Amino acid sequence: MTMQAVPVAPMVGFEDPVHGSQSVFRALLDAMSHPGKIITLDDIEAAPAPLNIATAAICLSLVDFETPLWADADIASSGEAMNYLRFHCGCPVTQDPKDARTGLFADGAALSSFDRFSPGTDERPDLSTTVIVQVAGLSNVAGMTLSGPGIKSTRALSVDGASDAFWAAVRANNQMFPRGIDLILTAGDQVVCLPRTTKVEG
């Protein structure tokens, strides 16, 4: 008797897709409006490796059939992670970062440039890529000094594992305004947004 392989169902996403998506979207609006503010996303219980909980929740909220997704080699090589994203988001996957509306990095430790992604145009800055980068940890104690829209005076942000080259890329991105990518950092179930309007010193 020949046994047939049974497709493995992807890990569960939001318990209530509508409520969960809206909850995460509101949290992201808060985070994007207040750069450097650490927000916890606890709308899903688990995510397939190498995705963390916050990254998975953000993708389930923001990514759909109209938003091409690019993933780095660590994520793209995980059948479970890609199956999860395709199933819950229904998104097309692109091999060209310039064509992506959302970019994913499993580990931001070696990230030193955002040049591969679309910065939009002066006339259509909304056509830029939103880049989600997983990091080892986030803290508002010491670290870099952030300023700009949404920040009263300044805000401290420490990112575990971020290199000097990474922060140089963030500063270069700010100099491109109104073009540039919007950056989302995640660690476990925590998220911080660094839109292109945010200035980083330190």
Q: What secondary structure letter does DSSP report for 110?
A: G
Asked if pLDDT for residue 10 goes beyond 90, the answer is no
Average pLDDT over every residue of 111-126: 95
Indicate the pLDDT class of residue 14, thresholds 50, 70 and 90: confident
Q: Would you say residue 59 lies in a domain?
A: yes
Token pair in block for residue 126 = 């909304």
178: cis peptide before it, omega within 30°?
Answer: yes
Rounded to the nearest integer, the mean pLDDT of the chain is 93
Token pair in block for residue 44 = 């899903």
Distance CA 40, CA 165 (A): 27
Q: Would you say residue 56 lies in a domain?
A: yes
How many beta carbons lie within 10 A of that of residue 202, not counting itself? 12
Helices (H), 69-134: 73-76, 79-89
For residue range 46-81, list pLDDT tens digits in order: 999 999 999 999 999 999 999 999 999 999 999 999
Query: What pLDDT does 70 receive?
Result: 98
Question: φ, ψ for residue 71 (rounded to 5)?
Answer: -130, 145
Range of the domain at 163: 17-201
CATH code: domain of residue 120: 3.40.50.11310
Query: What pLDDT does 6 receive?
Result: 42
Contacts with 99 (C-beta within 8 Å, 6 or more apart), sequence order: 68, 70, 118
Token pair in block for residue 109 = 């430790």
Please state the domain count of the chain. 1
Q: Would you say residue 124 lies in a domain?
A: yes
Q: Would you say residue 12 lies in a domain?
A: no
Question: φ, ψ for residue 60 (rounded to 5)?
Answer: -65, -25
Asked if pLDDT for residue 15 goes beyond 90, the answer is no
For residue range 80-112, list pLDDT tens digits in order: 999 999 999 999 999 999 999 999 999 998 899
Q: With H, G, I as helix, E, B as strand and everything else as coil, classify residue 5.
A: coil
Q: Would you say residue 7 lies in a domain?
A: no
Q: Would you say residue 8 lies in a domain?
A: no
Q: Would you say residue 105 lies in a domain?
A: yes
Distance CA 181, CA 169 (A): 11
Q: Would you say residue 51 lies in a domain?
A: yes
